[in-house]
Amino acid sequence: MARPKRDEFAPAIVATLQFRVGTLCSNPKCRVHTTGPHTEPGKVTRIGSAAHITAAATGGPRYDPDMPPAERSSIANGIWLCENCATLIDKDAAAYPVELLKQWKRDAEQEMNQRMISGKAGSQPTPHMDIDLHWKFGGRFIQGYSKKNPTKVIDGRETIELQADGPQIIHWRLSWNYDLCLFNNSLQHMFNVSVEVGKPGFEELSKLEKINNLPPLKGITMSALSIEYMEGTAEEADPLLLHPYPARMEGMTLRISYRDEHQKQYEQNYVLSKGNFQPV
């Protein structure tokens, strides 16, 4: 089956979108430079993309069937983003609607215009932290046998009688072990990074040094542990471990604080949703 025809941007439009924002990503939480020197003197490294605000083809993110092809491939329907943000807006189109992307574009162009008029370099791109929760391993551990199992009296004492060929009801400790990865997705240093976890939180989370420095485009990994207790059979416990974390943790909040090189304080808030931390 042939792919739907795409209404692509002309090369001149791609270049114009890029230069109207000074080759910076238009996402206000990113603003990373998308061009830089290549190891070969005659080449340039590019990590930017002219993204469609409404999709270039049927079935794409934010596709507008009423938009004429000429408008779909016009500069009005384009926004300049780094490759990461271009992928992000298409992976979760509902979180990045048309009006939001148009606002990003307007703000980025206005910021660049102000820098040009003032003759000043302006402020550095805002630091931005990306958070990833990576499951490492998990398991179930016996804490004891439930009194819901059959019992019999031995020497005057009620004793649990386990059935070799029947279900055994057990008190389990279920554990999930993770890497909590903090990544400085900007060109500024982040100083004294701290992490505050809202309830319900992790049972264990490794600590950061109180005085620390996270360089641009570098990451820190913290170890985290979640624990859940249950009473039931192994067959009932195992499906719970197939989930990336206990159900009670859905909606857990995370606050990241840090300073830039001018001692300006920043805070970013995240919520655990559908397997990872999303910015709020």
Q: Strand pairing partners for 130?
A: 183
Mean pLDDT of 100-113: 92
- The answer to whether the CB of 262 falls within 8 A of the CB of 135 is no
Q: Which value, to the nearest 10 degrees, does the dihedral of the CA atoms of residues 141, 146, 148, 154 take?
A: 130
Q: What integer best gives the mean pLDDT of the chain?
A: 89
**In the chain, what percentage of residues exceed pLDDT 90?**
60
User: Strand runs (DSSP E) across the chain, as ranges?
Assistant: 35-37, 44-46, 48-52, 78-82, 129-145, 151-154, 157-160, 170-184, 190-197, 204-205, 213-214, 219-232, 253-259, 265-273, 276-279
**How confident is the model at residue 118, as a pLDDT?**
62
Model confidence pLDDT, tens digit, residues 81-100: 999 999 999 999 999 999 99
Q: Check residue 135 and give left, alpha or beta (phi > 0: left; psi -120 to 50: alpha).
A: beta
Q: Is the pLDDT of residue 153 over 60?
A: yes
Task: Identify the residue with better confidence: 63 or 276.
Answer: 63
Query: Residues 6 or more apart from 1 whose CB is under 8 A from it?
Result: none
- The answer to whether the CB of 204 falls within 8 A of the CB of 223 is yes
Sign of the alpha-carbon torsion through 195, 196, 198, 200: positive
**How confident is the model at residue 128, as a pLDDT?**
83
Q: Is 254 exposed, middle or buried (0-12, 13-18, 19+ CB in 10 A)?
A: buried
Q: Is the pTM of this model over 0.75?
A: no
Model confidence pLDDT, tens digit, residues 13-41: 999 999 999 899 999 888 888 988 889 88
Could you give the CA distance from residue 163 to residue 180 in angstroms, rounded to a whole number? 42
- H helix and E strand count, the chain: 5, 15
- The answer to whether the CB of 26 falls within 8 A of the CB of 81 is yes
Mean pLDDT of 190-199: 92
Model confidence pLDDT, tens digit, residues 220-271: 999 999 999 999 999 999 999 999 899 999 999 999 999 987 888 999 999 9
Q: Is the pLDDT of residue 101 over 90?
A: yes
Mean pLDDT of 125-151: 89
Could you give the CA distance from residue 124 to residue 204 in angstroms, rounded to a whole number? 36
Q: What residue ranges do the domains of the chain occupy?
A: 11-118, 129-279
**How confident is the model at residue 125, as a pLDDT?**
60
- The answer to whether the CB of 214 falls within 8 A of the CB of 190 is yes
**In the chain, what percentage of residues exceed pLDDT 70?**
96
Q: Which of the residue ranges 1-5, 56-60, 174-178, 255-259 would you say has the lowest mean pLDDT?
A: 1-5
Per CATH, domain 129-279 is 2.60.40:
yes
Could you give the CA distance from residue 122 to residue 111 in angstroms, rounded to a whole number? 9
Task: Identify the residue with better confidence: 196 or 261.
Answer: 196
Strand-strand pairing, 190-197 and 213-214? antiparallel
Mean pLDDT of 134-156: 91
**How confident is the model at residue 217, as a pLDDT?**
80
**How confident is the model at residue 262, as a pLDDT?**
80
